[in-house]
Amino acid sequence: MSETENLVESSKGYGSTQSSTAITTPPCCSPKDGTCSNASPGSKKRSRNAAGILEWLGNLFETENDRVAACCATGSCIYLKKETTTTASSITAATVPKTIVVRSTFHCKGICCSSEVPEVTDILEALDGISSVRINVPLKQILVDHDVAKITAKDIAKELDDELFPSTVQRDGGADAAAAAATAKPKATQIVRSSFRSGGICCASEARIIREILQKLDGIAKIAVNPSLKQVLVDHDPIVLGASVIAQTLTDEDFPTVITEDGSAARERQHRTTQTSGGSGSKGRSKFQILSGICCASEIPVVKGILEPKDGIDGVMVHMSTKIAYVDHDTDIISAETIANTLTDGGFETKIQHDFSKDKQAVSSFVLSKFSIAPTDSKTMVSDLKAHLGTYEKNIVESYQVVKKSMVVDILHNPLLASAESLRLSILEGTQLQITVEEDGNDGKLWEFAASNALESKDEDEAVEDEDSGVGLRPASAICGVLWIVSMLSNLGGNWKILSYWGLLSVGFGMPPIAKKAYKTARRGNIDTNVLMSLAILGAVFLGQYDEAAAVTFLFSLSEWLEDKATRRANVALKAIVHLKPETANLIHPKTHDLILVPATVVPVGALVAVKTGDKIPCDGVVVEGTSTVDESSLTGESRPVLKTLKNEVSGGTLNNGNTQLVLKTTRTSDDSAVSRLIRLVEEAQANRSETEKIVDSFAKVYTPVVVFSALAMCTLSWLWGSAVGREWTARGLSLVVIACPCALVISTPISYVAGLAATAQNGILVKGGAYLEALGQVKHVCFDKTGTLTAGDFRLIKLIVAQPERRTEILQYLALMEARATHPLAQSLVDGIQAEGVSIPKTLRIQDHTFLPGEGVKAIVQDKDVFVGNERLFRRLDQWKTLPTDLKDQVASWEAMGGTIGFLSIQGEGIVCAYCVADAPRPETKGTLNHLKEMGLTVTMLTGDKRDTALAIGKTIGLEDSSIRSELLPEEKLAFVQDLKSHEAVSNPLLALFVSEPRLVLMCGDGVNDAPSLAASDIGVAMGAGAALAMETADVTLMDSHLTKLLYSINMGRKVIQTIRQNVVFSILVKIIVLGLTLTGRVGLWTAIGSDVGSMILVTLNGMSLLPGKTKNESGETGLDAV
């Protein structure tokens, strides 16, 4: 970004460059003198204790986008300044080559308060060459944008000195510009992340002040503050601003700060590592189970705050309900073991569930072969070779280099898909060039595959599962419960009262793990459930209510075990998805042809794999031998056998359940297979938090401290009215502390998402996160693409006529050549129909510049002639429609009633020479699905580029009214229609919308590629999984088997999720209100409060789990989860 762009972009917020000279102040400050209405009378310097409780509570709702003006404790605004004018002439001048506008930074000791800002501004603006002046009073810093050709940084400092504002140059922008010019090579901005520990941070309200201090510094890109860890993360340009300067700036502002990680040093270390290893390191994703320390969503930022500053960490995702953390990291810098230890040291006991570094990586199947070119007179040799080799896909020929001087061509290719000899023959046929194989890279290729330790891995996984399933109530907790029950007998009175002391023993057994967690949480400056329960237990002991203290201790210890039991079905469902990925493969060795058992992850693209009966298919591939049935329920949710034979595609993770062995040629590695992408995206969906979830968390952040402060007031102020009153109200206050725990409310939303996402995934539907589940339940309008969505996309060529029958073979060759490179579903039907006539594409027919024309067709240059294939709209635009012979036009008119797609082919100088019609039948389930959608009160519309008559013919067969059909639409017109439907206003509070808002959202269902703009513009985009390889990556929802009934299931699940969230939220709040009222009136005791808290949390969890499909037994007798 240029300096001029910086000037324009930075004109936002307080203290920015505006187009007037008026003084800009925050709303709380007087525009006349900057007097702050919120400042305390008589205060001198900024005091972190000046903010009131209400301001502190307000800060809890602050987001990254909040920019609340801070007030000087002196009573005047720190932002007060006279704005300068960035005129059009100054910006234009900055773009003139001889004019260089730069930014210099000065430290001015003479600035003592904001009242001197206008004076300094007037001094500098009067100087020739000054474009902009910005002043930061707390830092005594002046930022000046100036033309170095007219005035230098030293000149500016001298002018300030002469005016009794002694200043020193911190950064000379002119010197930096000169250095850049000397190198004649602009230096790219290198943003790094540095982390700091600031001892001056005491609460969340300090985060805003830290940001305000640092945002004034030049070179800052992003600031994140974690008050609980007293941690500041800063993304900055180390060339402009070093980490030491950042630390010193905060220290000078009464925030003593030390550097915990210097980003520039970390980058240098990583660079050295890369140089040494010759690569970018071993990067991947590991999975961790957080055993303890995480109880609610407020812990997620703490976990991220512990890991993200570490060098080598690329990303952290935490899912609260399952207590799983996914960490993307570089094992050359930080190992999975180190990550687990770091979390454990931070108070989150963690174990490794999956260390990606132990995965075997796929063997590279590419080799480098060298070819010599025989002498030739061809002047286009190089371009011909490049054009021919460019027709290969990247998984066959990755790269090539033609050296004309030495008449050599080097080709990096996959010998499993194209051998050196086959490349030689292909080049000879395609270019008529004689070449010789000098070095066959496959001859020296050592195909070494790691031996499979699948049995050991399976045993380890089973051991982990047994360990997880064996988690029971801790012995100490069980003893705690028995002692509590004994202590309850003291309520019988008389001699039984002595048994109340057994409650102390109960506390002694159950309290240590609670107190340990509470201490670590409180040490971070947070309040969580452990802290609240510890306060309640200690308070009850202080009052002598030992049985009550024992009740809180035991019931809270019991809650963790009960919650684990309640969520076990969700964890089992998610683990079942993860275990879909095959572990081994029977690889046919590329040279010896022996059958060897290897880890599925090492199988390269193009290898031959044998899949025996009952085995999982290890990778996506194509059948080259055998005919059998495959169970695709792992991806589609449908347990029905699908016949697979020669040239059929199969997906990794599916099961060969037929009676015949299949031999496949792999088209993707195991890690890139459909099931691997499914697993990866399901994991990410679990960690994506919706706006509703965030709002609930924000409410809990306010609710908890308010109730805690109220309870503390009851426990302390009540003693002013005497001992009896004090004891009574302290007991009520302790019950209030327990009620302050928001666990049931906080978990009410994510637990519903977990179950809903697991249920849809098991049914062959991939939903990207809880927010999209909510959106599915609020859909009002459903738009469908026709081809490949409402229809099967299985085109058949039913009519093909040419203007000159004697040239039929030649014209069909042109048409086949054009469509062989097209991506539309009907293209293959044309190629197949032409081949059925015995016509093949000659190698001498050369094609160039093949281009897709959205909504119209394709164009290319064939034999130096422009060739077009497409619909009527294309040829009317080209003004070639009039070249269509009359007899062909009459026949084409009769085809429109067939409901097929009609197209034409033209050749430069000849006009339209061919017309064809391809038919695509509707899916069997389309009509029933559309009827169900309409019965649910949804509006249904079909969007197509076909002509009106064709669209009406299809619409009639699937039960759509004429008003629900939009035809002859270009992609941009489909986009405009979707945007028109989205005329509803955005909801400011998603949680409130779940209760009061009517369905209003727009859903677009398409193939994931041709409808990309419409899918992106809609509120929720649904892609047919079989339509495109990237559908899962781009859409909000993907129907894995492209079965439209899954769309009904998705919308119904969305509605159930919304209903469950409503029930959970209302129930959680009602329980709190009822128990709160009973507590304040003295009708319930401490054990009732903890019982209601634990009970509501368990009931909310069980209600969320009800979204999971029920358990059924399959034919083999194994228990599974039925996809409802």
33 among known catalytic residues? no
Contacts of 626 (CB under 8 A, 6+ apart): 645, 660, 661, 662, 663
Backbone angles phi, psi at 572, to 5 degrees: -65, -40
List, as one string, the DSSP characters of 723-757.
Answer: HHHHHHHHHHHHHHHHHT--HHHHHHHHHHHHHHH
- Lookup: tokens for 644: 């697979």
Task: Give the three-class secondary structure for 1033.
Answer: helix
Report the distance separating Cα 28 and Cα 13, nearest Å: 14
Quote the radius of gyration of the chain (alpha carbons, Å).
Answer: 35
Q: Active site residue: 440, 528, 620, 785, which one?
A: 785
For 528-577, the three-class secondary structure string (H helix, E strand, C coil) is CHHHHHHHHHHHHHHHCCHHHHHHHHHHHHHHHHHHHHHCHHHHHHHHHH
The residue assigned the tokens 């635009």 is: 877
How far does CA 800 lie from the centroid of its chain?
47
Q: What is the dihedral of CA 437, 442, 445, 450, to 10 degrees?
A: 170
Report the distance separating Cα 1067 and Cα 1080, nearest Å: 20
List, as one string, the DSSP characters of 515-532.
Answer: HHHHHHHHHTT---HHHH
Report the distance separating Cα 178 and Cα 163, nearest Å: 28
- Helix or strand (DSSP H, E) at 120: helix 117-125
The residue assigned the tokens 């076990």 is: 568
Backbone angles phi, psi at 150, to 5 degrees: -105, -35
- The residue length of the chain stands at 1124
Q: What is the dihedral of CA 1081, 1082, 1086, 1091, to 10 degrees?
A: -60
What are residue 1004's DSSP bridge partners? 783, 1021
Report the distance separating Cα 124 and Cα 167, nearest Å: 13
Cα distances (Å, whole numbers) of residue 333 to 233, 263, 280, 330, 342: 20, 14, 11, 6, 14
Q: Do 870 and 903 contact (CB within 8 A), yes or no?
A: yes
Q: Can you say whether the dihedral through the CA atoms of 823, 826, 829, 833 is positive or negative?
A: negative
- Lookup: tokens for 347: 């108070």
Q: Do 1092 and 1071 contact (CB within 8 A), yes or no?
A: yes
Across the beta sheet with 350-354, what order do the strands follow?
313-319, 324-330, 283-290, 350-354
How far does CA 782 lie from the centroid of its chain?
25
Longest alpha-carbon distance in the chain: 117
- Helix or strand (DSSP H, E) at 88: helix 88-95
Taking alpha carbons only, the member of 673, 648, 676 closest to residue 663 is: 648
The residue assigned the tokens 């002391």 is: 501
Q: Do 603 and 362 contact (CB within 8 A), yes or no?
A: yes
Task: Give the three-class secondary structure for 1082.
Answer: coil
Rounded (5°) CA angle 797-800-805? 150
Q: Do 843 and 863 contact (CB within 8 A), yes or no?
A: no
Task: List residues with catalytic annotation.
Answer: 785
